[in-house]
Amino acid sequence: MIRARDFVSLSSDAAFAVSGELRVLAWNRSAECVFGLAATDAVGRRCCDVVSAELPSGEPLCGPDCHGGICFKKEIPFSVDDCLVPGSGRKPVRVRMSSLIVPSERVANPSRTRALVFVHRLEGADAELPMPQPLHIRMLGRFSVTLNERHVQVETWQRKAAVTVLKILAMHRCHRVPRDRLIECLWPNVDEKHGRDRLKVVIHSLRQLLGCAELIEHADESYALRAGAVLLDVAVFERLVGEGMRHARQHRPDDAIANLGDALSLYRGDYLEEDAYEEWCAEDRMRLRELYFEAAEFLAETLMAQRRHDEAGRVCKDALARESCREVFHRMRMECLLAEGREEEAEQQYRRCREALDRELGVGPLPETRRIAARIRATRT
């Protein structure tokens, strides 16, 4: 019986098969030539890690929140007409990618072939216009927008209120935002008539800047981004954290580590970090920051249980770089260093813990942290 993935070897173009878990199942000889990667090094790995494509603007196309992966999971064909992939010797190669969806069975099996992806090298010719793709908005860290797989330079927009409206609409995840709410955020002291007139101008300007009026819907004196047309890194981050924690509680460590690791990789910085003093996004910023630390703690604990102490220690180190007085990460990093026989570094970590707690909070370490420090000293002695 011929399997869908077997058709990859019959393609003249570079081609590979992707499972429902978004892992590479097959990789033909032409793909080896384009990517400079042998099939033995590609098969079994996550598609986004192998392909690692970027848009011509430098914006990443592949990742935990990439549009292609979401399309494949929903059984929707995905294509992009101009992107860069790391070729032989890691020299970027311009390619066009298209896909063929393999219908799933009545009971979906995530390990079976979900899509066949075809990669055609572009030999310097101008690429055709890409097929319309969703608006991709990244809000963790610096605000970033991609439309039709092309970077939108929102930082150059003269009408800054248009950027703020786009952020607020994205923050509400395609739910309707009352007109008065937008006016209150933009111009808190303006009267109702002037506020409505100003908002109409801003919405019109935003639609023109995006070049797609249908992206912003208007109904019942409210506005919203069109559902199904927007990808949000925040939504993917929250989904991955939720799935990772569920896997951890169900004692499925490999799945938990994969989901939580992907989630933390999306957390490029605090939510809308350039709007650090704006009240309208302060609550979400704090909530997502706490979710990041919760996910990092779950991931570090899961890695430690698997005796992957070096990886767990790096997770703790990254978390402490964001907030140095998080004692639980000092404590886990001390445990990791001790387990690796690095007692001197573990003792240095305890000193950093004491200094950070004293400097930031004016308190000393908790008893459980002091007990680990005593074990470290005893081991050294």
The CATH fold assigned to 4-121 is Beta-Lactamase (3.30.450)
Predicted local confidence at residue 129, as pLDDT: 35
φ/ψ of 15, rounded to 5, equals -150, 150
Whether the pLDDT of residue 19 is over 50: the answer is yes
Predicted local confidence at residue 135, as pLDDT: 85
pLDDT band of residue 128 (cuts 50, 70, 90) is: very low
Predicted local confidence at residue 340, as pLDDT: 95
What is the rounded average pLDDT for all residues in the chain? 89
Predicted local confidence at residue 123, as pLDDT: 66
Predicted local confidence at residue 112, as pLDDT: 86
Percent of the chain with pLDDT over 90: 58
Whether the pLDDT of residue 126 is over 50: the answer is no
For residues 29 and 46, give the distance between their C-alpha atoms in angstroms, rounded to a whole number. Answer: 19
- Report the CATH superfamily, name and number, of domain 234-380: Tetratricopeptide repeat domain (1.25.40.10)
Predicted local confidence at residue 184, as pLDDT: 92
Predicted local confidence at residue 73, as pLDDT: 83
pLDDT band of residue 106 (cuts 50, 70, 90) is: low
Domain 135-231 has CATH 3.40.1280.10: no
Predicted local confidence at residue 317, as pLDDT: 97
Whether the pLDDT of residue 276 is over 50: the answer is yes
Predicted local confidence at residue 67, as pLDDT: 83
Predicted local confidence at residue 109, as pLDDT: 73
Task: Give the pLDDT confidence of 150-171 residue by residue, as tens digits.
Answer: 788 888 898 899 999 999 999 9
Structure token pair of residue 340: 């690796």
Burial of 159 (0-12, 13-18, 19+ CB in 10 A): middle
pLDDT band of residue 127 (cuts 50, 70, 90) is: very low
Predicted local confidence at residue 89, as pLDDT: 66
Domain coordinates of the chain in residue numbers?
4-121, 135-231, 234-380
Q: Which of 380, 381, 325, 333 is nearest to 357 (CA)?
A: 325
Instruction: State mean pLDDT over 185-204.
Output: 92
Say what the pTM is. Answer: 0.72
Higher-pLDDT residue of 172 and 60 is 172
Contact (CB, 8 A) for 37 and 50: yes
Predicted local confidence at residue 220, as pLDDT: 86
Whether the pLDDT of residue 130 is over 80: the answer is no
Task: Give the pLDDT confidence of 79-99 residue by residue, as tens digits.
Answer: 898 888 988 766 788 899 999
Predicted local confidence at residue 132, as pLDDT: 41
